[in-house]
A = this chain, B = another copy of it.
Amino acid sequence: MSSTILDALSSRVEERGFRSTAPRRDVLTAVSQQRGPFSPEEIAAQLPMVGRATVYRTIRLLLDLGLVCRVPLEGGGVRYLVSVQGHHHHLVCISCGQIRDLGDCAVTEWVEKLAQRARYQLHGHMLEIYGRCERCQERARPVRAR
């Protein structure tokens, strides 16, 4: 399961010429094992033997390589998520914090037209959708994730 993800991360990182070190492998392993969104701090807590800076540096590397994405929350916080796929959006549960990937981006065309009309050289766009997932509605859970 997650070893597939780990393989994907590892191979893409090495492909680009980055070295395979023990701490880096540890971070990749931990990240690939996360089932949902995570914070660098959580990864660091799971890997006491790895320096905090290395955790941040590695996550940043994954971010730059497009293997992880940063998901902004409604209230200003941020969470990270493995994303081996390309451009996509998210459905964020404001109660339990679960984040679901939205594969198809139906707004691209609209965004392109808009940018063209405004004479902007388009660089990218970000779309996040916030709501409460089915389970949280049933359990009447309070809003947690800021």
B121 x A131 contact (CB < 8 A): yes
Determine which of B74, B120, B134 lies in contact with A126 in the assembled complex, contact meaning CB atoms within 8 Å. Answer: B74
**Tier of interface size on chain A:** 20 to 34
Cβ–Cβ < 8 Å partners of A132 in chain B: 120-121, 123
Q: Which residues, 118 to 146 on A, are CB-close (under 8 Å) to B?
A: 118-134, 137
A119 x B107 contact (CB < 8 A): no
B127 x A131 contact (CB < 8 A): no
Of chain B, the residue at the smallest CB distance from A137 is B121
Shortest distance from the beta carbon of A54 to any chain B beta carbon, whole Å: 19
Cβ–Cβ < 8 Å partners of A110 in chain B: 106-107
Interface residues of A (CB under 8 A from B): 70, 72, 74, 76, 78, 91, 93-94, 100, 102, 106-107, 110-111, 114-115, 118-134, 137
